[in-house]
Structure 1
Amino acid sequence: MTEIGDQETRVPASHKKNEIDYQKDIDRFVRVIQGALSNVSVPPSSTVVPELDPSAWRPNNESQMTITNGRNPFQEMYNNLPAEAVTRCVGGMSTHWTCATPEFLKGEERPKIFPEDETVDDDEWKLLYEAARNLIGVSSTEFEESIRHNTVLDTLKKAFPKRGIRPLPLACHRLAKGSPYVRWHAADDVYYDIFDQSLFGKPNSENIKRGKFFLLTNTRCTKLHTSTGSATENVHIGIAEVMDLLADRFSGTPSPKPVNFAIRAKVYVIAAGAVATPQILANSGFGGIREQASELVPALGKRITEQPLAFCQIILNQHIVDNIGKLDDKPQWWKDAVNAHKKAHPKDPLPIPFQDPEPQVNIPVMEGFPWHAQIHRDAFSYGEAGPRADSRVVVDLRFFARQEGDSKNRLVFEKGVTDVYGMPQPTFEYTPTTKFADEAGRMMKDMTDVANALGGYLPGSSPQFMAPGLALHLGGTVRLGQGKELLAETEHLKKKDKASSVANFNSQVWNFRNLYVGGNGTIPTAFAANPTLTSIALALRATRHIVKALQADPTGDNLKAATPDQKLEPTPRGYLNWLRDKNDADFPDHEALRTPHKEVVVNAA
């Protein structure tokens, strides 16, 4: 695996929010997220400073601003996703994600892997989602002994009894019963013990021995090279060209020289996020470059989706707060926590312990209300309450709508203009579609109704739509599909058309024998819920296809290319048994995965 960024955590790809600083003060984590994100495409006009000192240098033509820090001379302001950003480090955005892991709702969000057989499709998703939940360690019970969580949850259940309000499913676990601290799960939970070199050769339940895993940091995957020349079908990737971005460490000369080298493999998986995955494929010449004459992957970067995001913060209603201190009908753990807090801090006007866990409540997507809502107190790149109010009575409301993958909405890459890492500069051409426009408006009204049931708005955080892209749930850039598309002019006919998607539902790129894609960009549908669990599910399905292909052809020289004529197969239940059976030796025990480092011993005898 190559990673263009560095390893920023002691344990590779672990969640930064696990540090005690941020467990104590969630608002401080906002700045960590801000520091991790890099904007994808910034219009030059966004960098114009009219108030600049007249004596200071300024360019004669603002459209020709220096191409640094995401500035893009091709980016228009009116159709940009200005808040779309990426994280470059081992673990990527999983080092600061919210860990929210809902499933997509059938009929509203969930893609159809087997569109001709609803029962088979339902069974496939049930299996994949169960395995994905176990792999990343999803729970809905880690905040059940939080006063604030239960207060918000019960208030909303009473106010909206038909909305299926529930605890937000999260990839995390509490360190101990009654502890104020949780361990947030991240990509390290997927890696698990893969970095333990002492386990090399360890057999799994099927007696297959573990191989070696190499992680190359500060290393750019530049492009893929085919070994089949100009072929447009049955294409085979021969090597991946990569560059050590810190090569000057090894050059030994005053003038550092780029160090390029090749990685040869049987199978290549590009899973670098919804922006960098198509970027690598575009740089390989497969498609996606503006005005490219011939495209091997014509759907690359096209029909992108994102989520209109509405946000506000409230201060809990006085009656709700007063009820927290009325203990007659409260469970014993609640009474003990409030009484202990009052005894320790008799002058505190709030009956809420300082370390009471935050609320984590979800209003899921449902028919008639096709948006996803998170009512919680968590850190994003915005929404820091700061000293304006006691954070114990602040509640964040985030409502996510959906947008369809319209053919006019795309992520295109520029010729002759590169980003700061030397890759083709991405440009967004995106405008909200009319199909779901009314949904966003109804969602805003719904959010205000929910907010009014909880309290009053925090000044400065009244209901508002956030900048497009801020949800950071970009989809569709390397979308999966069936290779078939209904023709508008002859709707009774179906035409095989690989131009409507990048890969099949094995995540194998059309016409390629050994190239796969992964991540949120593979999701082809309009979705409102958080996409991570669905991306994991699709990735697990892809691994089965890769394993089966290499079992049939261990050399990797005669793998079959992806074509629409190939019949997709359900994932065998036995293949994912290690993620379903808690008695399996390889079942991931997230609570025993890793204990915090509490001491350092030097020169131990």
Structure 2
Amino acid sequence: MSKTARRSLDQPEGLRNYPNHPIHQESGIPEFDVFIAGSGPIGATFARLLVKQGYKTLTIIKVVMAEVGDQDTRVPAAHKKNEIEYQKDIDRFVKVIQGALSKVSVPPSSTIQPTLDPSSWKPSDPSKMSILNARNPRQSPHNNLDDEQVTRGVGGMSTHWTCAVPHFLKGLERPVILPFSEADDDAEWQTLYKAAAVLIGRNTDQFDESIRHNLVLDTLQKAYGDRDVQPLPLACHRVAPGSPYVMWHSAENVFGDIFTNAAETNGYFKLLTNLLCSRLAYEGTDPVKIVGAEVRDLLEEKLGSSLVPEGDEQKKYYIKAKIYVIAAGAVCTPQLLANSGFGAGRNQANPIIPALSTHITEQPMAFCQVVLKQDLVDSAGDLSGKPAWWQAAVNRHREKNPLDPMPIPFYDPDPQVTIPATLERPWHTQIHRDAFSYGDVGPRVDGRLVVDLRWFCMQDGVPENRILFESDIHDAYSMPQPTFEYTPTKKWADEAHKMMKDMTDVADKLGGYLPGSSPQFMLPGLALHLGGTVRLGREFATSVANFNSQAWKFNNLYVGGNGVIPEPFGANPTLTSIALAIRAAFDIHTQLRKSGGPTPPNPLAILTRTPESWVEWANPKNRNYPDHYNLRKLHKSV
């Protein structure tokens, strides 16, 4: 077909003249039941439940998933921290995290380099800057989320996350799904949180036999008897009783055996890697029907245009499905929707989704590291009254390492402690020793002595805090460049000040500050817990989707991920995002069973509870899935 006969690439609606993706021919499926963009824990939740549960009336559920990145772990979506080398030296994992993250928006900076060779190229206009790799000439430095970053790859950020899975605080963080009955809403969250905990493998006891964990826990429980100091809930399990090694959970655990046993569980599933879902083709405006997911094969682009004689269009395909789920992260999900023409463009008139990427929330974060007090470390070696496992660990260490002056074994598990948020102290706390993109200890001090303190505050979602997506500036994947407009409200700026004082008070109970890691506020965005970008709600004007995660005015579009959370939150959001995805998956299951096909959400409809039958697999009496302890054998040969 000639270029003049093709529809404009700038036209967002309708099917262009791209071929169907080869997966249609390979599978023999002309239209999938569900298309999912994103392979993190949330996309995995949708895929696992829909394939596993089925329509209840049909035998094959056909799900296809697109991931822009590649599979860079031996097992799809596995946590990279499970490698023994990183568990022996947690600080080395910092570099892995840094390598997995890409900054989202870098503000302008001077292009003048006075010591540059005079013959080297420089812009004729010194005010202009390069726009490569997230450099954004429209990003104001004063209201940027400087360290907001994304991970592209199978499993997403779950391949390097901290695995903290606390519940949200009722009355502040936790959204209200069923507003007409507090009892029903509590019961709904109990159902969803229980199922989410089983799905991701939530535990609170895997560090019980850690000397440092108990030192920190006991010290803070004695100091703050009224604050419910407790073990930090984590998605992990110890590989064997008494082992120093932990299996950290990730999207791998949510996927379970879906890659090998999809057909045996009443479904079809295929994950396509190096495939960017760039936009959605649609028909109509109210209601809107998605008629295809436009995808770009990045490997074809990598091979070069000589193998693609028809030009750029031939690198693009359509995947067709009955329902489309966008769970590509809190930045990339609205970016995809913006690129489809639905909203969030600069000066865009009459957007289909006016609340897209408005009311964003973030977490001001305070951080410090302390070196444990002399008396705390010495008390670890006083074995009187200590449990048998403690005594055995210290005696074994002293016998094998007589030159070590410290009683704590080399591979004693890290502390993992939290003081939950309250309405009086509305911030989430993590007192532990873990790897982030910052805070490594290196050779300066023995890592057994160091404890990290991370305090996470909240931020109300206000319309002024938003992301704009630039139509004339593009990121490395030729998608609209995000520009942040974010300023903490006075209320939460004041709370962040109080939070810092609280952190320093807790730190004082444990030890002295590690040089270079004194109390400090981290760069905005560094928590990587951006929320509100595709927020759920009850009004079209101020939210993107209803509390079934179905986009307003769309009959077959759903959103998922941390971006759907509408409330301010300080706690790690993944467990809550999985819970909301479990509810959304049931609604998709219901929509697929409609004889006339999916229909848009009704803002006047009274939502109901997720039936227990949808999460029957989470019942302790029926715990045949997921089995996190026997998910896969340890790798011993190639």
What TM-score do the two structures reach when normalised by structure 2? 0.87
What is the CA–CA distance in structure 2 between the aligned matches of 1:32 and 1:251, rounded to whole Å? 30
> Is 1:201 the equivalent of 2:263?
yes
Deviations 1:432-455 (A, max 9, x none): 111212110110000000000000
Residue 150 (structure 1) aligned to one of 199, 205, 214: 214
Deviations 1:184-211 (A, max 9, x none): 0000111100110xx34324xxxxx2x2
Residue 84 (structure 2) aligned to one of 2, 5, 20: 20
What is the CA–CA distance in structure 2 between the aligned matches of 1:469 and 1:244, rounded to whole Å? 30
**Aligned residue identity for 2:264:** K
What is the CA–CA distance in structure 1 between the aligned matches of 2:113 and 2:101, rounded to whole Å? 23
What is the CA–CA distance in structure 2 between the aligned matches of 1:448 and 1:252, rounded to whole Å? 58
Contact 1:145–1:178 at 8 Å: present in 2 too?
yes
What is the CA–CA distance in structure 1 between the aligned matches of 2:122 and 2:106, rounded to whole Å? 18
Residue 97 (structure 1) aligned to one of 152, 155, 161: 161
What is the CA–CA distance in structure 2 between the aligned matches of 1:108 and 1:445, rounded to whole Å? 21
In 2 relative to 1, CA 48–163 (structure 1 residues): closer, same or farther, beyond 3 Å? farther
In 2 relative to 1, CA 66–317 (structure 1 residues): closer, same or farther, beyond 3 Å? same
In 2 relative to 1, CA 526–53 (structure 1 residues): closer, same or farther, beyond 3 Å? farther
**Aligned residue identity for 1:113:** I
**Aligned residue identity for 2:263:** G
What is the CA–CA distance in structure 1 between the aligned matches of 2:177 and 2:206, rounded to whole Å? 32
**Aligned residue identity for 2:290:** I
What is the CA–CA distance in structure 2 between the aligned matches of 1:477 and 1:383, rounded to whole Å? 28
Moved more, 403-412 or 242-251: 242-251
Percent identical pairs in the alignment equals 61
In 2 relative to 1, CA 500–249 (structure 1 residues): closer, same or farther, beyond 3 Å? closer
Task: State the partner residue of 1:401.
Answer: 457
Task: State the partner residue of 1:253.
Answer: 306
Deviations 1:345-371 (A, max 9, x none): 111111010010010111111121110
**Aligned residue identity for 2:143:** N
Task: State the partner residue of 2:9.
Answer: none
Contact 2:110–2:127 at 8 Å: present in 1 too?
no
Moved more, 338-347 or 256-265: 256-265
Contact 1:44–1:62 at 8 Å: present in 2 too?
no
Residue 233 (structure 1) aligned to one of 286, 306, 313: 286
Deviations 1:276-323 (A, max 9, x none): 000000000000111111200000010100000000000000111111
Contact 2:616–2:622 at 8 Å: present in 1 too?
no
> Is 1:469 the equivalent of 2:508?
no
Residue 533 (structure 1) aligned to one of 557, 561, 575: 575
What is the CA–CA distance in structure 1 between the aligned matches of 2:327 and 2:346, rounded to whole Å? 22
**Aligned residue identity for 1:242:** V
Give secondary structure in 2 for the equivalent of 1:153. helix
> Is 1:516 the equivalent of 2:558?
yes
What is the CA–CA distance in structure 1 between the aligned matches of 2:323 and 2:467, rounded to whole Å? 26
> Is 1:266 the equivalent of 2:322?
yes
Task: State the partner residue of 2:184.
Answer: 120
In 2 relative to 1, CA 386–200 (structure 1 residues): closer, same or farther, beyond 3 Å? closer
What is the CA–CA distance in structure 2 between the aligned matches of 1:44 and 1:594, rounded to whole Å? 47
Q: Which runs of 5+ in 2 are unaligned?
A: 1-64
> Is 1:289 the equivalent of 2:345?
yes
Contact 1:173–1:182 at 8 Å: present in 2 too?
yes
Task: State the partner residue of 1:487.
Answer: none
Contact 2:110–2:129 at 8 Å: present in 1 too?
no
Give secondary structure in 1 for the equivalent of 2:515. coil
> Is 1:542 the equivalent of 2:584?
yes
In 2 relative to 1, CA 14–44 (structure 1 residues): closer, same or farther, beyond 3 Å? same
Task: State the partner residue of 1:412.
Answer: 468
Deviations 1:232-286 (A, max 9, x none): 2121111011010110466783677441110000100000000000000000000
Contact 1:45–1:62 at 8 Å: present in 2 too?
no
In 2 relative to 1, CA 141–562 (structure 1 residues): closer, same or farther, beyond 3 Å? same
What is the CA–CA distance in structure 2 between the aligned matches of 1:472 and 1:290, rounded to whole Å? 24
Deviations 1:504-554 (A, max 9, x none): 00000000000000000000000010000000000000000000111223x
> Is 1:308 the equivalent of 2:364?
yes
> Is 1:242 the equivalent of 2:242?
no
Q: How does 1:566-605 map to 2 (within 5 A)?
A: 566-585=605-624, 587-600=625-638
What is the CA–CA distance in structure 2 between the aligned matches of 1:48 and 1:151, rounded to whole Å? 53
Contact 2:91–2:442 at 8 Å: present in 1 too?
yes
Task: State the partner residue of 1:559.
Answer: 598
Give the C-alpha shift of residue 125 in structure 1: 0.4
**Aligned residue identity for 1:177:** P
Deviations 1:137-179 (A, max 9, x none): 0000000000011111101111111111100000000000000
Give secondary structure in 2 for the equivalent of 1:334. helix
What is the CA–CA distance in structure 2 between the aligned matches of 1:522 and 1:573, rounded to whole Å? 23
Q: How does 1:84-483 map to 2 (within 5 A)?
A: 84-196=148-260, 199-203=261-265, 209=266, 211-226=267-282, 228=283, 231-248=284-301, 253=306, 257-258=311-312, 259-483=315-539
**Aligned residue identity for 1:576:** V
In 2 relative to 1, CA 270–50 (structure 1 residues): closer, same or farther, beyond 3 Å? farther
Moved more, 41-50 or 518-527: 41-50
What is the CA–CA distance in structure 1 between the aligned matches of 2:156 and 2:249, rounded to whole Å? 13
In 2 relative to 1, CA 458–584 (structure 1 residues): closer, same or farther, beyond 3 Å? closer
Deviations 1:97-147 (A, max 9, x none): 000000001012101111221111100001000000000000000000000
Aligned-residue Cα RMSD (Å) equals: 1.5
**Aligned residue identity for 1:201:** A
**Aligned residue identity for 1:508:** Q
Task: State the partner residue of 2:18.
Answer: none
Q: Which runs of 5+ in 1 are unaligned?
A: 204-208, 484-497, 601-605
What is the CA–CA distance in structure 1 between the aligned matches of 2:354 and 2:565, rounded to whole Å? 17
**Aligned residue identity for 2:286:** E
**Aligned residue identity for 1:414:** E
